[in-house]
Amino acid sequence: MSRTASTDFCSRPESTPEAITKPVGVGLRHQHYRDALCETSAVDFVELHSENFFAQGGITRSMLEAIAELYPISLHGTAMGLGSAIGIDQGYLEKLKHLVHDVKPFLISDHASFAWSRLNNRMIHAGDLLPLPFTDDALKYLINNVKHVQDEIGQRILVENLASYVQFDQNSMTETEFLSELVSQTDCGLLLDLNNLLVNAHNFPSQDGDVTPLAAAQQWLQEIPETSVGEIHLAGYRLPANGNFIVDDHSQPINEECWSLYRYALERFGPQTTLIEWDNNLPDWQVLTAEAQKARQLIHQHSH
């Protein structure tokens, strides 16, 4: 179904022979399907939400086949619930396996969150990315589930850091220690969502009043193993009313603070596969791909 999902993205015309470059893609949403089919030169790959393509047939499946003919695909899950103590529903995994078989994605990712649990003795799904405490026990479940998923689909996955709206008293380690141990134990990669780092840093400011959210996010990046990063997500958020939490709604252009953190991340980790996420209040395709072009230029500046 898919073209050979080549990951040889190193031949863009603007690259010098010595340059190391990486692909830049966009999250593809329903409103942009037609644009993506008509104008293929704007992005190197597209990211699809896995669950949106679980149906076995129908017009969505046709669209998937058409897109897979034109682009390398990254499958990004929003519902796997990798940290679920109850485990991951096997029916969900079977659907994902079928999709992976058909699409042959060059990346597969989901979040460091939980989603499956029991309510009134029934296994249910939370329909959201629910946060994990940073404890040895929560880590054990996450490690077991990531190993299980990688075994099932036969491919390394990337795990994304979460935007969380609660903090747990029982945390026994930092988030970076938690994720670093996950990488060490499972050989998975990390999907660094820079916007999530900033949202968390704004919502839960450092106790030390001198540390800005940007500086806190930069420190977070310093604590992550250099070789663990497999992809970077960039996104924007709507400014909240005074005193309210920022919600990671992916509804705005990437703000300057996030671009600044991206430059910092490129300095620290070198060029990385990068994705522009925009899920709500969607702009024109040209606006979206212009954000991708901006990321590409920054990668190019850091590729020597």
Partner 1 sequence: MLNASETLIQQQSFLSRIYQQDSLSSSQTGLNIYRNNFRLTAARSLSLTYPVIARMIGSENMLLLAERLLKKEQPSTGDWADWGEGLPEILADSELHAEHIYLTDVANMEWMRHQADKAKSTRFNQKTLEKLSRKTLSDTKFVLSDGLNVFHSEWPVDRLWEAHRPEIADPKSYLSQERFRMQSCYLVIYQQNRRPQHQLIDQEEYHWLSNVTQGLSIDALIDTHPNFDFVHWLPRAIEHNWLLEIH
Q: Which residue has the tokens 């990337």?
A: 158
Give how far Cα 86 sits from Cα of 110, 137, 168, Å: 17, 13, 19
57 binds partner 1 (CB under 8 A): yes
* Distance in Å, CB of 85 to partner 1, minimum: 4
- A 10 A CB-CB count for 113 gives 25
Nearest 5°: CA angle at 188, between 182 and 193? 85
20 binds partner 1 (CB under 8 A): no
The alpha-helical segments, DSSP class H, found in 133-174 are 136-153
If phi > 0 it is left, if psi is from -120 to 50 it is alpha, else beta; for residue 114 that is beta
- Span 115-154, contacts to partner 1 by CB under 8 A: 115-119, 122-128, 130, 133, 135-138, 140-141
59 binds partner 1 (CB under 8 A): yes
Binding residue for partner 1, selected from 4, 6, 56, 207, defined by CB under 8 A? 56
Contacts of 217 (CB under 8 A, 6+ apart): 194, 197, 198, 201, 261
* Distance in Å, CB of 79 to partner 1, minimum: 4
* Distance in Å, CB of 131 to partner 1, minimum: 8
235 binds partner 1 (CB under 8 A): no
Both structure tokens of 132: 């994990």
17 binds partner 1 (CB under 8 A): no
80 binds partner 1 (CB under 8 A): yes
Both structure tokens of 263: 């430059």
Nearest 5°: CA angle at 137, between 188 and 147? 25
Nearer to partner 1, 20 or 166 (CB): 166
58 binds partner 1 (CB under 8 A): yes
If phi > 0 it is left, if psi is from -120 to 50 it is alpha, else beta; for residue 234 that is beta
* Distance in Å, CB of 279 to partner 1, minimum: 11
Read off φ and ψ for residue 153, nearest 5 degrees. Answer: -95, -5
* Distance in Å, CB of 133 to partner 1, minimum: 7
Which x/- pattern over 23-52 shows residues binding partner 1 (rule: CB under 8 A)?
Answer: ----------------------------x-
Considering only the stretches 2-10, 57-65, 183-191, 267-275, report the one whose residues sit in contact with partner 1 under the rule CB under 8 A. Answer: 57-65
Instruction: Write out the residues near partner 1 by the rule CB under 8 A.
Output: 51, 54-62, 79-81, 84-86, 89, 91-92, 95, 114-119, 122-128, 130, 133, 135-138, 140-141, 164-167, 243-245, 247
